[in-house]
Amino acid sequence: MPRKFLAAAAALAAATAGIAVAGNAWAATTLGASAAQTGRYYGAAIAAGRLGDSTYTRILSTEFNAVTPENEMKWDATEPQQGRFTYTNGDRILAQGQAIGAKVRGHALLWHAQQPGWAQGMSGSALRNAAINHVTQVATHYRGKIYAWDVVNEAFADGGSGGRRDSNLQRTGNDWIEAAFRAARAADPNAKLCYNDYNTDGINAKSTGIYNMVRDFKSRGVPIDCVGLQSHLGTTIDSTYQQNIQRFADLGVDVQITELDVQQGGNQANIFATVTRACLAVSRCTGITVWGIRDSDSWRSDNPLLFDGNGNKKAAYTSVLNALNAGGATPDPDPEPEPEPEPGAGCTATLTPNAWTGGYTTSVRVNAGGSALTGWTVSVSLPSGGTITNAWNATVSGSTFTNVGYNGRVPAGGTTEFGFQGTGAPPTATPVCQGS
Ligand code: 9MR
C-alpha cells in the first residue's frame, strides 16, 4: 500500500481504538483506552435504570472498559426472599458490560447493609448457612463472567480499633469472611476475589486491620486475590495513599480503586490525578472505577464525578486522561506464582466439647492444610474464669497445646486429635492453629 494510504489507515485504526495521532506521539483519547496502554482498566459503576438514557450509554461505551453494578448484584437485589434468586437487573449490567467489551466487577456478595429483610432478622448458624449459600448461588450464576468479585464489603470498623465492625454476619463468628472467600472460590475459580472497604485510603488503623487480615489469609492459604480501596474522597488526599496501595500489593494481592469519587470545590482535578498516578505507580494496582458517570448519577450531592450533569467532560476528566497517558508501571500479566506456604504453616483446629455444669472435656481435631505438618500448636481462648486441668495427646502451657512425639506429623489434608479437660464453660471461639 502506498505510504500515504498506510498512514491514513493507521490513523483510522487509531481513531477507532480511541487513540489520537498528535505529531509523532500517540496518546489515547478515552479513559479506557488510556488505561489499557499500561494494561489497566478504567471503569464506572452503572445502574440498570439508567441504561435507557442515550447520553449515559454513549459516555459509558466510549470512555469505560469496566463496569460495576451500583446496586443490582447486592444481596437484597439478588435474593429478595430466601432461596428465591432474581438476576434480571444484574444480568442487564453484565450484558451491557459484555456488549462494550468491558470487564465486569461483581459487587457485593456479603455486606452488613442492603441485606434482604429476611436475612436482617437471622442470626447464628441459620444466618451463616444462608450467607454461604448466597455466596455459592450468586457466584455460580455468574461463574466465568466476572473479572473480580467484592466477596465481602465493609466488614471493618471505623475509628482506631482496627477491628471488625459489629454486624449480624460478624456475630456468626470471626471466620465468616474466610468462609465466604472459600465458598466464592469453589463457585467461580476464575474470578479474582476481593475484600472491599472505605476509609482505607491511606495508612490508618482501619486499613492496617485489613492488611493484617489479608496477610493472615495469605499465610493460611485462604483464597484472596485483591483488595478494593473504595476512595470516596473529600477535599484532601492522604499523603500515604500510594504507600498504602504498595503495602497491600507487597502482600501478593492486586489492588483496585473500586468506588472513586471526589468532592468538587476543593482540589477535585488534582486529587483525581493523584489517585491515578498512585495506581499507575504500583504494578499490581490493576484498575480504577469511578462510582457513577455524571454528577447527576452520583449517590453524593457534591458533584464528585468526571462528567457534569449534561454529560460534559470536567477539568477532573482531563486531569485523569493526562495522568493515564503519562504512563506508569506496567502490570505483569504473568506474575511469579506465589511461594507455597512453608510446609505445615497452614492448619486449622476445631473443638467438640462435652460439657456439664462447671466443667467439660473437649476433643480437638487438628486439620493440616494443603501441605504436611511436622509439628503444631493450638491456642485456645478460654472463657473468663476457666482453667485447664488435664490434657491428652498434647502438652499444655497456659492455654496453648503442642503436639507430642507421635502426633506432630500430619500429612497434607490429614488430621489428628488431642483433648483436654477444663473447669467453667467450654471454649467456643475457633482456636488458632500454627503449623511447622
Ligand atoms: O451508590 C449506592 C447507592 O445507590 C445505594 O443507595 C447505597 C445503599 O447503601 O449504596 C451505594 O453504593 C455503596 C457501595 O455499594 C458500597 N460502598 C459505598 C457506596 C456508596 O454508599
Question: From first to last of its 436 residues, what are the pLDDT tens digits of the chain?
Answer: 444 444 444 444 444 445 544 443 568 999 999 999 999 999 999 999 999 999 999 999 999 999 999 999 999 999 999 999 999 999 999 999 999 999 999 999 999 999 999 999 999 999 999 999 999 999 999 999 999 999 999 999 998 899 999 999 999 999 999 999 999 999 999 999 999 999 999 999 999 999 999 999 999 999 999 999 999 999 999 999 999 999 999 999 999 999 999 999 989 999 999 999 999 999 999 999 999 999 999 999 999 999 999 999 999 999 999 999 998 767 666 666 655 445 446 899 999 888 888 888 898 999 998 888 999 999 998 888 889 988 888 999 989 999 988 889 888 888 888 999 999 999 988 899 999 8
Give the nearest ligand 1 atom to 74 CA: 15
Q: What is the pLDDT of residue 68?
A: 98
Give the ligand 1 atom nearest the CA of 299: 1
* Mutate-to-test residue for ligand 1 from 110, 233, 261, 291, highest number of ligand atoms within 8 A of CB: 291
C-alpha cell at 131: 450467607
- How many Cα atoms within 13 Å fall on the side-chain side of residue 193? 27
Which protein residues are within 6 Å of ligand 1, measured from CB?
70-71, 113-114, 153, 198, 230, 259, 299
Of 63, 70, 154, 178, catalytic: 154
Ligand 1 midpoint to CA 17 (Å):
32
Torsion (CA) 284, 290, 293, 296 in degrees, nearest 10 = 180
| 154 flagged as catalytic | yes
CA distance 225 to 152: 12
For residue 288, the model assigns a pLDDT of 98
Ligand 1 centroid vs 228 CA: distance in angstroms? 14
pLDDT for residue 10: 45
Contact (CB, 8 A) for 73 and 106: yes
Residue 420 amino acid letter: F
Look at residues 77, 67, 61, 48 and name the one whose alpha carbon lies nearest to residue 106.
Answer: 67
pLDDT value of residue 108: 98
In this structure, the residue with its CA closest to atom 6 of ligand 1 is 299
State in Å: Cα 403 to ligand 1 middle. Answer: 48
Query: Can you give the pTM of this predicted structure?
Result: 0.75
Of 257, 259, 300, best ligand 1 pocket probe by most atoms within 8 Å of the beta carbon: 259
Identify whether 342 is a catalytic site residue: no
The span from the first CA to the last CA of the chain, in angstroms, equals: 67
Record the cell numbers describing residue 232, joined without a space.
Answer: 470516596
The single residue listed with the C-alpha cell 474464669 is 385
